[in-house]
Amino acid sequence: MPIRCEWSFLCERADADTNSRLNAFGIASGIVTHLPSQVSFTLVARISGDPDVSMSMDVAISTPSGSRLGKPEPRTVNMLPSGFLDSTMRLNNIPLLEYGTYVFAVILNGDEASTIRLPVTPPQSVVH
């Protein structure tokens, strides 16, 4: 079975409870902020593939103008016997220097498996 990313999203934090259920808090669908700014997220991805297989997982971040931001070191993850894995990766201090859509690409074994699009917009001015 090929390795693939079933779904992925960004949130403030994610953890597993005592029954190994994934809990995600503060799911991000966009950011409203003044620039420059920095944000931190946890990337959550459901990966499927052959049971008990090891793979590398990486994240590539692109700015609205197409530049690549520094990325975390790839890490090795191990598929569970069920053939599924809910994996989390903490992304700290991501610089936001321009408005527009940032793209977070989940990379499995060197291939892009999923993308998350995150729009960054300025706060609306309030006229009194």
Provide the pLDDT for residue 12. Answer: 93
- The span from the CA of 36 to the CA of 72, in Å, is 21
Provide the pLDDT for residue 70. Answer: 73
- The span from the CA of 55 to the CA of 47, in Å, is 10
Provide the pLDDT for residue 43. Answer: 94
Q: Which fold has domain 4-121?
A: Immunoglobulin-like (2.60.40)
For residue 103 the two structure tokens come to 């793209």
Q: What is the pLDDT along the chain (128 residues), one digit of tens a residue?
A: 789 999 999 999 998 888 878 899 999 988 888 999 999 999 999 999 999 899 999 999 999 999 999 766 788 999 989 999 999 999 999 999 999 999 999 999 999 999 999 999 999 865 66
Provide the pLDDT for residue 128. Answer: 60
**In the chain, where the domains are located:** 4-121
- CA distance readout (Å), 46 to 32, 41, 88: 27, 16, 9
Provide the pLDDT for residue 18. Answer: 80
Provide the pLDDT for residue 127. Answer: 61
Provide the pLDDT for residue 72. Answer: 66
Pick from 46, 106, 42: which is nearest to 74 by CA?
106
